Amino acid sequence: MLPPVIPIFPLPNVVLFPNVFLPLHIFEPRYRDMVRDGLAGDRLIGMTLLKPGWEGEYEGRPPVYPIGCAGLITHAERLPGGEYNIVLRGLEKFRISSEDRGGPYRRALVEAIDDPLPDAARQTVRAERRRLERLLLERSEHGGVEGARLPEAMPDEDVVNALAQYLALEPAEKQALLEHDGVLARCRALIELLEMKAMLSGRAWGSSV
Mean pLDDT of 13-17: 97
* Residue 140: per-residue pLDDT: 63
Instruction: Name 21's Cβ contacts closer than 8 Å, sequence gap at least 6.
Output: 74, 87, 88, 89, 90
- How sure is the predictor about 91, in pLDDT bands with cuts at 50, 70 and 90? very high
CA distance 165 to 21: 9
For the residues 159-167, what does the mean pLDDT come to? Answer: 95
Domain 5-113 has CATH 2.30.30.180: no
Higher local confidence (pLDDT), 149 or 58: 58
- Where does CATH 2.30.130.40 sit in the chain? 5-113
Quote the pLDDT of residue 39. 98
Q: In the prediction, which pLDDT does 208 show?
A: 39
Distance (Å, whole) CA 84 – CA 79: 6
User: pLDDT tens for residues 92-113?
Assistant: 999 999 998 888 899 999 999 9
What pLDDT score was predicted for residue 103? 85
Q: What is the pLDDT of residue 138?
A: 76
Where is pLDDT greater, at 62 or 90?
90
For the whole model, what pTM was predicted?
Answer: 0.89
